[in-house]
Structure 1
Amino acid sequence: MISLFRKVALLLASLVSIVYAVHTIEVHNQEFVDTVTNKRLMIIGVDYQPGGQSGYNPGAGQDTLSNGTVCLRDAALLQRLGVNTIRVYNVDPAANHDECASIFNAVGIYMILDVNSPLSGESIDRSNPAGSYNVGYLTRVFGVVEAFKGYPNTLAFFSANEVMNDIPTSKDNPPYIRAIQRDIKNYIAKHSTRTIPVGYSAADVRPILQDTWAYLQCNINGTADQSRSDFFGLNSYSWCGGDATFQTSGYDVLTTMFSNSTIPVFFSEYGCNKPQGTPRVFNEVAAIYGPEMTALSGGLVYEYSEEPDDFGLVVINDNTTVSLRQDYDNLQGQYNKLNITLIESANSTATGLTAPACSTDLISSSGFSTNFTIPSPPDGVNDLINNGIKNPNNGKLVQVTATAVPMAVYASNGNQIQNLAITPLPNDESNTPGGETTTANTTSTASPSASPTKKGDAGKSFNVATSGLLGVALTVLLLS
């Protein structure tokens, strides 16, 4: 006869391996909206690219989302931090992302994927948009769509990032950005069972910022215009230092600029690190998610792991252990203060908005493009859109059976965090800040002195995760 303990263990294992899926997200005017609950999704996020550009090695089948053990470690930290979204810049469409995508899905974290990469031929060349917009480039872009369209926690795709970074580059590039968006959206319409938003990530270059947004959100051919952005991301570091305010940072100007946006606008990067070497206090978080900025849809902090530019929340050590920086603790403290009810509430100004028709009157800069004739797809692209790319790598959710993080993670005080694990969320929930701290469950075991100190997010402990499931298991057995 199987013992009661053995029955509990078997039932617990079966509960842990259940595949939950977050609700998919749609765009409704200014907002990202949960397709089931109709609650607003305000992006509480982090840019996630461990290793930077060197972490992308398609020849070896390696990218940010190809190692399940690494994703388990980072998902646990990001879950404890309280984020609900990550942005991933460089992905290999041929790599297997099932385990990583499923882990992030299990903890209620969405993914926004860039369809481009830093390698030659895998992005639009701002100095030669016409020459780089070709069938080979779009074949790879469609491969990214194929690889991620099957994951319900794929929130959106970025068609491009900071292609326009000054007035000269704003002359020829805007029509090509819209062309890429049109092609991606037409491919999704043909080959995906759901709509997935597609948009652009812009540099905060004030002479062209408003024109970029105006050009990308307007309608050329009415409501069926597929070249129009579904959302607008902004990489902005204007809030700098603990003494910055809503006014001195220019956040008041941004709020006014985007108050009547007909698409969601959010910070696709934020978190100024000047002066370098000083922990960031992230007091802009209160403004981004406060009542004055409800027209915007949150943001993504740059960035998760420490790279040469010194923006990291965590340090990933050579032996794959992680050390949290004070920046991580400070950001977590700010997230824990957020009013989640306010964040999930619909913005009253977002209803009844209609996208303007594209016209030269929308553009204020003398050097910005006023050409709304979007380039036709290159030869062969319509065939790819109609029939699909050859041998697509279609990702799908898999069971997440491992929850405990196998490598050591150290809090910012140097002590090891105990029982670090992901906590799969029931009922298709997205993650929210949980009031946790990174130093509450540590021992005096210090981080290795030979390893660089990195800051990061910590997941809820396995003890907490299993205690709820154990209670369910015991209840089922006692009633049987």
Structure 2
Amino acid sequence: MISLPILTALYALYTTVCAVNPVNVTGQDFYDTVTGDRFMLLGVDYQPGGQAGYKPQQGEDALSQGDVCLRDAAVMQRLGVNTIRVYNVDPTLNHDDCASVFNAAGIYMVLDVNSPLGGESINRADPSSSYNSGYLNRVFGVIENFKNYPNTLAFFSANEVMNDIPTAADNPPYIRAVQRDMKNYIAKQGSRAIPVGYSAADVREILEDTWNYMQCSISNDTDNASRSDFFGLNSYSWCGGDATFESSGYNDIVAMFGSTTIPIFFSEYGCNKVMPRVFDEVAALYGPQMTSLSGGLIYEYSQEEADYGLVQINSNGSVSLLTDYDNLQMQYNRLNITLIEAANTTAANLDPPECSAGLISNSGMSKSFDLPAVPDGVQQMINNGISNPTQGRIVDVSNLTPSQEVYGTNGAPVQGLQVNRVPDDQSNTPSGATPSTSGSGAPAQPSKTGAAVVGARAEAAVGFVGLLGFVLSLL
């Protein structure tokens, strides 16, 4: 006879083992390492409170409060998100609850390793002074903190360090040096490869040169680890419902990156010059004209001073969905997920170009590929690991119903909102849920273009119910 404690343990095991599959890079695409399916980012930038929400002195960052993450994971899962980008995290904090609830929701995380505080990023005005062992100890701490979560998709080595021609003169070798050190640390101290890349500003004078600089191959085996695994672009060129593929310059972006040897995606997008946003660019980004790119991340989840929010986080912890949320959800529900997950037939499958001064056209940008030497003491960290790291792990998330209220755009509470556990081998996809004005959190029956994984979830649920029935028959 199986006792009740054993039955409880079986259920606890079920609630913890379900996980998304790790993702890696092959050529110019992301791929699920288990199924081999192509992965495209259908994502949102997530930093509640903005930079002010990063409070290491108070033990708080965007992924430190499990109940907040549960609320936001439920809201984003309903929206159809499969990836979040988090800009500022404290490597000494425990992020297990948040990482685990996003994992249960089928949502991956892309983490920036830097922060706005002094000594926690490369100083674009004086990169040599900031590239040191103390800074890299923090970077490696972020890697240690998140390397064991299966839904850690990737790390950003830096964000918009080169934001004009003058800052492109000295910074590129330092960014590649940071990537070299990160990738060598992951290779030595991680259990799997985790992609590392750069998030670039859409500064057209240096954009193509920056991409070429980051994707090219250095003949020196030691420094070739510095090559970006992917390239993110912060682009706000599609503005309003009158914009088109051509007027926004999306056609130029596709042409520019046509020969890429690494994945390209929008690490930020969603112009707010016309409000409310209608997000017509979503159909283009995930349509047949842009299958060479790997999707993107909408800026941003919560309403901050810059006025880009999909939701308003209220002072009592409740959330009010904004019109932008409804408009984005309608765009997501129209997507052809079969096309999104299909193999990239436009992939060039080219070898990366050899790094040389001839790749760089702007006279103001660095043409040197002689990278800074590894700072004193850093190679020992790479070989042996940093001291006393905080290492995360997936934990039980049996409670999947947020305690906070979430209100639709009509002011009515969204009913039945919870995280629906995604079974193994699945990430989240648009559910076909009706807009928030309905006041209902229950997803509608998905269409083929709504591509929900309801069938897979049902199959997993039936399987577990069958297991429970078998176990109960033995009690």
TM-score of the aligned structures, taking structure 2 as reference length = 0.91
Superposed CA deviations along residues 377-436 of structure 1, whole A, max 9, x for unmatched, are: 111111111111100111011111111111110001111011211001112311111111
Question: What is the 5 A alignment of 1:172-191?
Answer: 172-191=170-189
Aligned twin of 1:374:
371
Aligned twin of 2:227:
228
Contact 1:126 1:169 in 2 (8 A): yes
Aligned twin of 2:449:
none
Contact 2:410 2:437 in 1 (8 A): no
Aligned twin of 2:46:
48
Superposed CA deviations along residues 296-324 of structure 1, whole A, max 9, x for unmatched, are: 10000000000010000000000000000
Distance 1:252 1:383 in 2: 46
How far did residue 438 of structure 1 move?
A: 3.7
Give the direction of change, closer, same or farther, for the CA distance of 1:184–1:241 in structure 2 (3 Å limit).
same
Aligned twin of 1:65:
63
Distance 2:392 2:296 in 1: 26
* Structure 2 residue 245 is the aligned partner of structure 1 residue 246: yes
* Structure 2 residue 277 is the aligned partner of structure 1 residue 280: yes
Aligned twin of 1:401:
398
Aligned residue for 1:116, secondary structure, equals coil
Distance 2:469 2:115 in 1: 52
Distance 1:474 1:394 in 2: 35
Aligned residue for 1:415, secondary structure, equals coil
How far did residue 113 of structure 1 move?
A: 0.2
Distance 1:18 1:229 in 2: 33
Percent identical residues = 63
Aligned twin of 1:452:
none
Which deviates more from structure 2 when the two are superposed, residues 218-227 or residues 420-429? 218-227
Q: Quick one: which amino acid aligns to residue 164 of structure 1? A: M
Aligned twin of 1:433:
430
Aligned residue for 1:246, secondary structure, equals coil
Give the direction of change, closer, same or farther, for the CA distance of 1:381–1:476 in structure 2 (3 Å limit).
closer
Q: Which ranges of structure 2 fall in alignment gaps of 5 or more residues?
A: 441-451
Question: What is the 5 A alignment of 1:126-137?
Answer: 126-137=124-135
RMSD: 2.4
Contact 1:47 1:87 in 2 (8 A): yes
How far did residue 165 of structure 1 move?
A: 0.5
Superposed CA deviations along residues 337-371 of structure 1, whole A, max 9, x for unmatched, are: 11111111111232531000011111111111101
Q: Which ranges of structure 1 fall in alignment gaps of 5 or more residues?
A: 444-459
Aligned residue for 2:38, secondary structure, equals coil
Aligned residue for 2:232, secondary structure, equals strand
Distance 1:384 1:232 in 2: 27
Distance 1:86 1:353 in 2: 29
Distance 2:249 2:261 in 1: 21
Contact 1:108 1:428 in 2 (8 A): no
Distance 2:345 2:462 in 1: 43
Distance 1:378 1:222 in 2: 18
Question: What is the 5 A alignment of 1:12-411?
Answer: 14=12, 17-221=15-219, 225-275=224-274, 278-411=275-408
Number of corresponding residues: 454
Superposed CA deviations along residues 265-324 of structure 1, whole A, max 9, x for unmatched, are: 00000000003xx21000000000011111110000000000010000000000000000
How far did residue 28 of structure 1 move?
A: 0.6
Contact 2:71 2:402 in 1 (8 A): yes
Q: Quick one: which amino acid aligns to residue 429 of structure 2? A: T
Distance 2:130 2:13 in 1: 49
Aligned twin of 1:473:
465
Distance 2:10 2:276 in 1: 41
Aligned twin of 1:450:
none
Give the direction of change, closer, same or farther, for the CA distance of 1:472–1:115 in structure 2 (3 Å limit).
closer
Which deviates more from structure 2 when the two are superposed, residues 360-369 or residues 15-24? 15-24
Contact 1:180 1:227 in 2 (8 A): yes
How far did residue 21 of structure 1 move?
A: 1.3
Aligned residue for 2:118, secondary structure, equals coil
Q: Quick one: which amino acid aligns to residue 73 of structure 1? A: R
Q: Quick one: which amino acid aligns to residue 266 of structure 1? A: F
Question: What is the 5 A alignment of 1:453-468?
Answer: none
How far did residue 439 of structure 1 move?
A: 3.1
